[in-house]
A and B are shown apart, each in its own frame.
Chain A
Amino acid sequence: MKARGRAASLAFPAAAALMAAAVLAVGVPMVRLAASYPDTAPGGGALWQVALQAAAAAGAVAAGAALAAHRTTALCGTLLMLAGPAVVIAAVPVAPARPALLFTIALAGPALAPALLGSAALTCPAGRLSNWDRLAVAVSLVVAGLVCGLLPATLFDSKASGCFTCAANLAEVHAAPDLRASLIRWGLALTIGTGTGMAVLATRRWLRAPRIVRLVNAPVAVGGAAVALLSAAAAGYALAQPVPVIDAPSRAIWLAQCAIVVLMAGGVAATALRTRRLASQIAAQVLAATPDAAALQHSLAQSIDDPGLALVFPRDDGTVIDAAGQPASADGAGLAVATVRRASRTVAEVRYRAELAGAEQLLGTAVRSAGLALEHVAAQARLRAELADLAASRRRIIEDGDAERRRLERDLHDGAQQRLIGLQLFMQLAADDASDAQAETYHAARRIVSTALADLRDLAHGIHPAALTDDGLMTGLRTLANRSPVPLSIGGTGPVARSAAAEAAAYRLVAYTAHTARRLNSGPVIRAAVDGDEAILRVRIEADGIGGKQAAEIMARASDRVAAASGSAAVKTTAARTTITAVFPCAS
C-alpha cells in the first residue's frame, strides 16, 4: 500500500509533466500555424482566440493533474489531463499544416477533446461507475477517436484531394474520398448521439450525488457536460452543411467549448483553495479548543519581552487564580495590569512590569489574537478552581464528621460510661450492706448496668475507633482485627509518613471489608497489608470469599472517603477472591 502510494505520487507529476510537454510540443506550431492560416484554424488566429485555446489546454492539464493526485478522482483527472493536448490538437489548422506528423495528428484527432471532457464529466463524482456509464465512455471515445478521427484519416490523400501545399498524410492507407466523406457524416451523426448522451448521463450522475459531492464536482461535471453538449451541437451544425467547413458559427462553438474548459479549470482551482482555507480554519479551531495556558502565557510574555508576565483570572467571589486554578496573590503590587474583558465580564488580567506600560499596544495586539484561546484557558482555570473547592469541601465534610464522631465517642466514654461504672459500684456497695432479699434485687440491677456498659462500649467503638486516632493506623487495624469474628490479619511495614486523612481512609476501607464479610456465610478470610513511604500510603486487601457484588458495595461505601483523602482505589475480583488496592498521598 505504501509502495503503491509512493509510485502513484511519482506517476502523477510525471504524467502531468508529460501532458504539459505534449501541449507545448503541439501548441507552439499550432500558434504559429493559426497565426499564418487564420481561416483554416478551427479556433481562429487572433491573439485572444489563440490565448483562449492555449488557456483551455493548460487549464485542462493543471486541473486534471490536481484531480488525478487523489485516488477517488484519479480516472477523471487522467481524462482531463489527456484533454489538454487534445484541445491543442483540435486547434491546429488542417489545410497547410506541416510537418507531416502534426498534419496527420490534426487530421486524426480534432474530435477527441470534447469526448475526453465529456468522459471526465461523467466520471468525476466519486463512487462506482455503472456498466452503462462505462459503455458510454468507451463508445464516445471510439466514435471520437476512430469514426471521426483515425478511420477517415486513413482514407485521405493530401495531393489527391487537391491540397498541394499540405504535408503528406502519414496515416494514409488508401485514398477513398467518397467513402471518407460518408464516414465523416456518419461520425458527425454519431457524435450528436454520444455528445448528447454523455451530457445527459453526466448531468444525471452529478444530480444524484450528495450535496457536498455536487458542490465539489460542479466545475468538472457541469463544464464537461456542457462541452459534450456543444460538441453535439457542432456536429449537428456541420451535418447541416453540404460539406463540413470552418466558419463563424463552428468557430464560435469551439471557442465557447474552450471558454468552458477555462472556467472549469478556474472552478477546480477555487474548490482546492476553498478546501485549504477550510482546513486552516479547522486547524485554528482545534488549536483554540485545546490551548496550553503555559504556552499562551509564554507567547504573551514574548510579545512585550517580559518573562515575568503573569496571566491571572479573577473569580466572581473576588479571589484571583492562576491557570492551574490555584490562588494567585491578589494584589499585583508594582505591576501594570491589563484587563481582558469580554461582554462586560473580566476574562483575565495580564500582569507585567510597570516600566513596560508603554508597550501596551504590543500586548493589546497579542491579547486580541489570543482571543478564544484566552477565554478557554480562563474557563479551564475557573473550572479547576471550582473542582478544587469541591474536593476541599468534601474533605471538610468528612473531617468535620470524623471530629464530631470522635467527640461523641469521648463524651460517651468520659461521661455516661463513667457514671454507669459508678452506679454499678454503688449498687454493689448497697448490696453488701443490704439484707439477702434486697441484695438479690441490687445484684439484678447491677447486672443490667453491666450489660448496658458493654453495649455502650460497643456503641462508642462503632461511632469512632479511638485506637486509630490515638495510636495510628496499625494499632487501629489490630484492634479491629482483635474484635473481628471474621479472620482478619494485618501485615505490612505500616505507614512511614503520618497523615490522618490517609490513615482514616485506609482504616475505613479495611473496616468496611470486614463488616461486609461478617454478613457472609462463605467463610471469608481477609488479609490486609499496609506499607508506604514519605509520600504515599498503600493498602492492599485480599478478601477470599468476597465476590464482585460485595466488592462493589464496599467500594461504594468507601469511595467518598478515598476521594476525600485524594486517594485512588482499584478493585479486582477473580473467582472467589477480591483484591482491593488503594494509594493515598501523605503530604499534609
Chain B
Amino acid sequence: MRVVIAEDMALLRQGLARLLTDAGFDVVGGAGDADELLEMVARSEPDAALIDIKMPPTHTDEGLRAAAVIRERYPKTAVLLLSSYLEARYAEALLKDHPAGAGYLLKDRVYDAAALGEALRRVSTGECVIDPEIISQLLRRGRERNPLDALTEREREILSLMAQGYSNDSICHRLVISRRTVESHVSSVFAKLGIVESPESSRRVLAVLAYLQD
C-alpha cells in the first residue's frame, strides 16, 4: 500500500516513514507543507495520505484544506488527518463534505503502528475513521436524560464502532460475530436511540456524531 506523509517536523516525518515502512507500507514521499503534498499526490497518486492538520505557513488548518482538495481531485487517494486536538470539530469538518475515504486520528497515536496501519487501510477501502478517544469522550459526557443507559454492553460497543466509522463488515471482523448479528444490533441501537438509519456507513457516522453531541 503506497502512502505519502505530510508533516512539517522533519524528524517526526522520518520517524513516521520508518514506522510505516517497518509495518509493510510503501512510503512514496514525505512533504513539509500543503503545496509539496499536493504536488506529491498529483505525481504519484498514492493509496493514502497521512496529513498533519497544522502546517506552514499559518499552522492552522492547512492540512484540512489540502485533504479536501485531495478528496475532490484524486478520489483514489484516501486521507488520514492527524491532530493533537481531542475535538470532534475537525473530524466533522472533514467528513461533512467527504464522508468516505477520510479519517481523523489523534496525533498521540502515531507511535502505534498497528492502530495507524489499520486506520490507513480502512480509509483506503473507503471507510471513514474517527479516533476512538474522541468517541469515548462523547460517550462519557454528562447527559441530562441518558438514552445510552438503555443500551446493552454489546450495543454500546457497536455504537462506539459505528461512530469510529466502522462499516458492518468491519464490525463483523473486529468482533468476530456474524453479519446478521451485527445488523440486528445496529437496528436495535438505532431504534433505542431514535436515529434514522442510514444505509451508507459513512453517512451513518455523521448521524451518530451529531446524536452524541446533541
Which residues of chain A have a CB within 8 Å of any CB of chain B?
410, 413-414, 417-418, 421-422, 424-429, 432, 446, 450, 453-454, 457, 466-467, 470-471, 475, 478-479, 481-489, 525, 527
Q: Which of A410, A429, A482, A525 makes the CB contact (< 8 A) with B15?
A: A429
CB distance from B168 to the nearest CB of A (A): 26
- Inter-chain contact A414/B54, CB cutoff 8 Å: yes
Cα distance, A236 to B26, chains bound together (Å): 142
In Å, the complex CA distance between A422 and B108 comes to 9
By a CB distance below 8 angstroms, the chain B residues around A475 are 89
Interface bin, chain B: 20 to 34
Residue-wise, chain B 7-41 has the 8 Å CB interface mask toward A (1 for contact) of: 00101100110110010000000000000000000
Q: Mark B89-130, 1 if CB is under 8 A from A, else 0.
A: 100000000000000000110111100000000000000000
Pairwise interchain contact B9-A418, C-beta atoms closer than 8 A:
yes
B111 touches A427 (CB 8 A): yes
A425–B144 CB distance below 8 A = no
Q: Are B213's CB and A457's CB within 8 A?
A: no
Digitize B46-67: 1 where CB-to-A-CB distance is under 8 Å, 0 elsewhere: 0000000010000111000000
B87 at the interface (CB under 8 A from A): yes
**Is residue B152 within 8 Å, beta carbon to beta carbon, of the partner chain?**
no
Contact B110–A457 (Cβ < 8 Å) = no
Find chain B residues with CB under 8 A from A418 CB: 9, 12, 84
Using known A-B contacts A414-B59, A471-B89, determine if residue A486 contacts B111 with beta carbons closer than 8 Å.
Answer: no
**A481 touching B12, Cβ below 8 Å:** no
How far, in Å, is B105 (CB) from chain A's closest CB? 12
- Shortest Cβ distance from residue A335 to the other chain B in the assembled complex, whole angstroms: 49
- Assuming the contacts A432-B22, A482-B137, asked whether A457 and B84 have C-beta atoms less than 8 A apart, the reply is yes
Q: Mark B125-165, 1 if CB is under 8 A from A, else 0.
A: 00000000000011011111000000000000000000000
Quick one: closest B residue to A414, CB to CB?
Answer: B59
B211 at the interface (CB under 8 A from A): no
| Chain B contact residues: helix, strand, loop or mixed | helix
Question: Contact check: which of B108, B112, B113 meets A454 at CB < 8 Å?
Answer: B108
Given contacts A425-B12, A425-B111, A427-B111, 13 further A-B contacts (CB under 8 A): A418-B84, A422-B12, A428-B111, A429-B18, A454-B108, A457-B84, A457-B85, A467-B85, A470-B61, A471-B89, A479-B89, A482-B138, A487-B143
Residues of B within 8 A of A (CB): 9, 11-12, 15-16, 18-19, 22, 54, 59-61, 84-89, 107-108, 110-113, 137-138, 140-144, 213-214
CB distance from A525 to the nearest CB of B (A): 5
Cα A466 to Cα B61 in complex, Å, equals: 12
Write out the residue numbers on chain B whose beta carbons fall within 8 Å of the beta carbon of A486: 142
Task: Name which residue of chain A comes closest to B9, CB basis.
Answer: A418
Which residues on the A side are within 8 Å of B112 (C-beta)? 428
Give the Cβ gap from A361 to chain B, nearest Cβ, in Å.
66
Q: Are A466 and B85 in contact (CB under 8 A)?
A: yes
A417 touches B89 (CB 8 A): no
Q: Is the CB of A422 within 8 A of B11?
A: yes
**When the two chains form their complex, are residues B89 and A483 in contact, meaning their CB atoms are under 8 A apart?**
no
Q: Contact check, A457 vs B107: say whether CB atoms are below 8 A apart.
A: no
How many angstroms from the CA of A489 to the CA of B214 in the assembled complex? 7
